[in-house]
Structure formats: C-alpha cells, structure tokens
Amino acid sequence: MARVGFIGLGNMGLPMVRNLVSAGHAVTAFDIVKANTDAAVAAGAKAAATVEGAGEDADIVITMLPKGEHTLQVYEGSGILNTAGTGTLFVDCSSIDVASALRAHELAGAAGFKSLDAPVSGGIVGAQRGTLTLMVGGEAATVDAARAVLDAVSSRVVHCGGPGSGQIAKMCNQMMVATNMAICAEAFAMAEKMGLDAKLLYDVVNTSSGQSFAMTSYVPVPGLIETGRAEHNFEPGFTTELLLKDVNIFQAAAQESGLASPIGQAVAKLYEGSIAAGNGGKDYSIIIEYIKRMQRA
C-alpha cells in the first residue's frame, strides 16, 4: 500500500482515484471544485484542503490537470515542493507540452525529488476500467519505484525514455487519434451520401487495410458498436476541445522543430470548426456530424 496524493479530480482523475482506492492505496485528494473532492471522499479517499495538503506524508503525488500551466501552478506556484516529505515521488499524468513537462522535472529535481511525466491514453472509459496506457518519461529506476501505483490505474506502463519522452509519445499518439477519427468520419459520411450501408462498410474495413482504433472501437456511427460514443449521443469519452488541445501541442512542436505538418494543420482546422459549431464539450467523434454539415466550396 502506498500513500498517494492526487491533484485534479476531473473526468480522468476521479476514476483513477477510485481504482487506486480499490487497489488498497491510501489516497488524499484535492480539486479546486469541492464537488469533485467530495466524490473522491465518497469513493474512499481523504480530502485535502489545499494542494500542499495532498502532498503531506505522501509517498507519491500524482497530478492530472488540463494544461501545462496548471501543472506548473502546482510545481511552481504552490508550496508543495517545500512541504512534501523526503523521498516523495512526483508523477504528472496530464497531457501537456514538452517544455512544461521538462520544467516540472527541473523544478522537482531542484527541490530534491524524483519525477515522471506519465500522460495516459484510453479516455474516460479506460480511466474507469483501470485499463489506461501510461507513456512514461524519466529515469528507469523511478518508473520501477512508481510501478505498483501506476499499475493500479492502467493495463500497460511503457517507459518511453528520459524526461519529456512520455509527452512526446502522447502528442504523436493524439495526432494519429485525431486524424484517424476525422478520416473515418469522412469515409462514413461519403458512404451514407452514396447509399452504402454503414454496417457493410464497417464489416469490410475491419478486415481490410483501412482498419484503425477509430473503426474497431470508436466508430462514429450509431448501431454498430457499444463502445462508440455515437451510441450515447456523443457524450464524451474524450472531449473535442481536449483533443484539439493535444493536436495544437503537436502543431506547436512541429513549428518549433521545423517539421512540415500539412495533415495536422488540416485536422486542427476541422476540430476548430467543430468546436465553433458548439461541439467542444462533446466527444471528438462528433466530428462526423460537423463534416456532414460542411458545404463543399
């Protein structure tokens, strides 16, 4: 059993806390939204009144926050690095830009702590089921030290390399997620337009070279698979606005590194359009509805 401080109890963080408690870990949780903290307490966690309180007596502190600026507010803006006990391990599971991840590592190291960047893949359903994939950047020995806790929220922990490498893997994964879904949606919209049955297309592609996660597990058409969010009025497994955030992280990295990203730029514009149409809080697979409504110039 580990003593875990958990900061950030949103759609991903709260189910992760539930899994940590179920695995026997003692969790002290904090969120700026009191209702989220109350829900964690109902799941068996202890409430912290402050960020610093979540780190008191913790063996490991996990942050699961929306953006890099929020992670740095914890590492740099709060006093948690001054109040945490010797030997506390810091793990940021947020999906953020590499520069912010490296800064978090730098701050933790300067304060005498080991740290990992460990963004996740699997969405809300994966968080609920404890089947997330964790892409981890940091020292191998630190990954080993955190593994018992990380295993409680995931089905796979992948050590990607040194500090920041977890975030590099995550942004590349998310670029492919966004692109695969957009082209899957466009193809199904075309099939509908030309009178081809969606179930027939689904069956054909799932045993053909167009197969992808967007097809097999998240197809954006109702009546095909239970795990697709189209089956649930596009209530989010992962919101459009969060996916666009990840796509923009990739685009910023591409610009900084001098890499051409023509597909990424086009995909970013699609999801921007979907958000402008009011779909920011809906699952990203609702891009199919936006594509259907687009008029060809």
Active site residues: 170
165-193 and 240-257 helices, crossing angle to 10°: 120
Q: Which residues contact 62 (CB under 8 A, 6 or more apart)?
A: 4, 5, 6, 7, 16, 91, 92, 93, 149
Q: Which residues contact 261 (CB under 8 A, 6 or more apart)?
A: 250, 251, 254
The tokens for 4 are 């875990």
Q: Are 126 and 101 in contact (CB under 8 A)?
A: no
Report phi then psi at 116, rounded to 5: -135, 145
